[in-house]
Structure 1
């Protein structure tokens, strides 16, 4: 990094001792108290659970969670493995492993099966982990055009605006607005790729990073060139070790081929759900606890190290090379979106569908029959339960689309068990900075465990959580409220 950051310095010194923490603090130029605060905050520094662990995701909750839990020594937060759930991990002194096809696969070697991807454009017809494979798929057209003088910042910004590309991380904010704001800022400026995919039910970004790294990198570089960023950081969930290694190899290949026009590096995330919130992400990159900042100012004005910063989701940036190749009008006619579909469907996986596709059709693509389902969880933990099979999967609709997670539940699933997992997830992942969130999420766990259906109590809970500083707390009650609505409509 252009400025020493505490987290990488601590990572280089694992396992930590008092002397190593003091050395990292000195090199990062931060007070020793701040360094110890960081060590106590992030799981990998304070000590990860050991032994056989069950990944606690919505699908596992629907598969007889109590029975599955008996076969493990602990649990671990969702890892984008819902299409394969239930999944067990093993954490030992020798490393972290995933139980897969009768063997323990190191995290650094495990990738989501390529067969889970169903689509074209954003999803490649075959894995493209090398530059030669990406070129064979017609890749690098945007960077070639830039190198040849056929593209410039104005053309890129205009194309993004005409296409109406919305952020794919969940907020659906107009991409061109953020890009233009950073482009108008004073140098130095940065671009940060938000690849801290931690939302239960989502695995689209993980799949792209593992199987289509050059598409993501080309999109990031094009965006960086368009806004005048001096450096690109890929903030990747630290458990995605195979993706991180693949990205680092891809960066080296682009540099050797003469197409790494902006210095680019991978930053291992803090390993918490809150790190996906863009300002908390920036705090962790600066070597602090991942806690949301007050806004304004927004990152486009004062982001990383106080400089204008464009923070964009993986899928958002992966759309740029396609958008520029096809043209804004052609791209907008189909407006592709990735949907992570899992649970009680015959073919769980990642589906590339046009925005506006009805929920029922998306489920049928995955081999799910809506009539045989009790409900789906749309949007992940910060989402809702619904039975509206005609609902268009689009932004700005009646229900939040989020990042595109769809978890289907059959008639026999105990949805309160699923909801309890979500409530526990929110309680565990609250950063504790603002009072409403840790209080509200703790109260919510108790209410869900006793299956409280009193609407006045839920109204009080919602009023408390709405006072939270960021979206984690503000959306924590959505699934609860929606489950009562689904029960009432049954």
Structure 2
């Protein structure tokens, strides 16, 4: 990094002592008070819970959460394991493990089963974990062409604009606008891959990182060259240990093959949901508490260390090699989107579908029958419950698509229990920087516990939360409001 970052320095000194924190602060060049503020903010520095933990995700909430919780000594936030839920973890002094197929698999070795993936463009025919495998599929041709000057940066930017690629992280912002804004900025500039996937119900980015890392890296490097970035960072959710190790091996292979045109490194995330918000992400990289910044200025103007920075989602960047290979018009005719389907369907997994696919058709692909379902949760904690089976799964529609999470709930599921899990999650993950969010999410938990259905009270809650600084608070009431609508229409 431009300067030593506090988080990696602290990670290298675990378990922490007063002396180690002071040393890390000195090396990072930050006040000791700031270092202690960071230590007390991020969970892994405060001390992770030990014992058997139940992953508290929407699917577990629908499977008899109270009974499942009795078999554990604590809970853990969602980990992108909804297609396998309910899942238990084991945290011991020897390490962190996933209980899987009758044994304990270390986080460093556990990957989502490859059989969960269904697709042919963004998803490979088999796990592609070596450079040789990726090149056999035609990979790295675009990157080679750009590195050799055969493909101009403007050509890539124009292709992305013609394709109409929208960001796949949830905001659906035009990718070419962010790319061009950073390209026009003054050096030094940075590119940060946002791989801090923490939205309940989502596991698309985790799957790509674990099974197709070179596609993500080629897309990221293409974007970095196009905008003139001097350094590439992959900000990966800290718990995705196998993905982190795989990316580090992949970067080493690229360097050995002479296909790494600029410095690149993996940066383990702060380990909080709020770290997925792009400015909070940058704050954590700079060794601070992950709290959203006031905007403007935006990261494309003043991002990491105050320099122009492109922050882009994993799936967004993975589409760049496809756009170059297929051509923007052909890509756009069957614009691919990854959807994480879980819950009460016969074949939960990751499905690559053209944007605009009706919700009911997506569910049937996964072996779900819409007519038998109570509802689905679309978009995760920052999403909505719906029974609109004809809803076209595309951005900027009447319902938020988010990053593509779809959790199905059959008859007999207590949707209020599911909502309570989401409400607890948002309260716990609020960073506390602005007043409306921690207040509103705490009140929401109590309202959901009482199963309050007063429209006026909910409207007051919504007005409070709308005043939040970032999307976590601003969208926190959506699921609540939509559940009342679904119940009213039933």
TM range (shorter): over 0.9
Aligned to 1:95: 95
| Residue 33 of structure 2: aligned partner | 33
The two structures have a TM-score, normalised by structure 1, of: 1.00
- 1:204-353 residue pairs with structure 2 within 5 A? 204-353=204-353
> Displacement of 1:99 after TM fit?
0.1
Instruction: Give the C-alpha shift of residue 137 in structure 1.
Output: 1.4
Mapped to 1, the partners of 2:120 and 2:8 lie a distance apart of 36
Alignment of 1:117-136 (within 5 A): 117-136=117-136
Q: Deviations over 1:65-114 (max 9, x none)?
A: 00000000000000000000000000010000000000010000000000
TM-score by length of structure 2 reads 1.00
Per the alignment, residue 478 of structure 1 pairs with 478
1:198 match: secondary structure:
coil
Give, in angstroms, the shift of residue 135 of structure 1.
1.0
Structure 2 residue aligned with 1:190: 190
SS in 2 for 1:168: coil
Contact 2:146 2:153 in 1 (8 A): no
Give the Cα–Cα distance (whole angstroms) in 1 for the partners of residues 359 and 345 of structure 2: 13
Q: Is the 8 A contact 2:160 2:175 kept in 1?
A: yes
Deviation of 1:150 (Å): 2.1
Number of aligned residue pairs: give it.
Answer: 490
The reply on whether 1:45 has 2:31 as its aligned counterpart is no
Corresponding position of 2:433: 433
For residue 2 of structure 1, report the CA deviation from its aligned partner: 2.2
Please give the secondary structure, in 2, of the residue aligned with 1:338: strand
The CA deviation string for residues 183-237 of structure 1, in whole angstroms up to 9 with x for no partner, is: 0000000000000000000000000000000000000000000000000000000
Runs of at least 5 residues in structure 2 that lack an aligned partner in the other structure: none
Partner of 1:11: 11
CA distance in 1, matches of 2:465, 2:177: 29
Q: CA deviation at 1:143?
A: 1.0
Cα shift at 1:148: 3.7
Q: C-alpha distance in 1, partners of 2:133/2:182?
A: 33
| 1:159 equivalent in structure 2 | 159
Matched residue, 2:59? 59
Q: Find the residue that maps to 1:83 and give its secondary structure.
A: helix
Which whole-Å CA distance do the structure 1 matches of 2:474 and 2:415 have between them? 22
Look up the match of 1:69: 69
Match of 2:340, SS state, is strand
For the residue of structure 2 that corresponds to 1:41, the secondary structure is coil
- SS for the counterpart of 2:305 is helix
1:234-285 CA distance string (max 9 Å, x none): 0000000000000000000000001101110000000000000000000000
Show CA shifts across 1:6-29 (max 9, x none): 000000000000000000000000
1:327-362 deviations in Å (ceiling 9; x for gaps): 100000001000000000000000000000000000
Secondary structure at 2:357's aligned position in 1?
A: coil
Please give the per-residue CA displacement for 1:300-350, whole angstroms capped at 9, x wherever unaligned. Answer: 000000000000000000000000111100000001000000000000000
User: Distance between the aligned counterparts of 2:392 and 2:305, measured in 1?
Assistant: 40
Gaps of 5+ in 1: none
Give the whole-Å Cα distance in 1 for the aligned partners of 2:210 and 2:378.
24
CA positional deviation for 1:145: 1.6
Aligned Cα root-mean-square deviation (Å): 0.5
Structure 1 distance, partners of 2:297, 2:407, is 36
Q: Which residue of 2 aligns with 1:418?
A: 418
The CA distance in 2 between the partners of 1:141 and 1:330, in whole Å, is 18
| Contact 2:96–2:106 (Cα < 8 Å) also in 1 | yes
2:55 and 2:334 mapped to 1: Cα distance?
35
- Structure 2 CA distance for aligned equivalents of residues 148 and 209 of structure 1: 27
Instruction: Report the CA distance between 1:149 and its aligned residue.
Output: 2.7
Taking the aligned partners of 1:144 and 1:227, their CA distance within structure 2 comes to 16
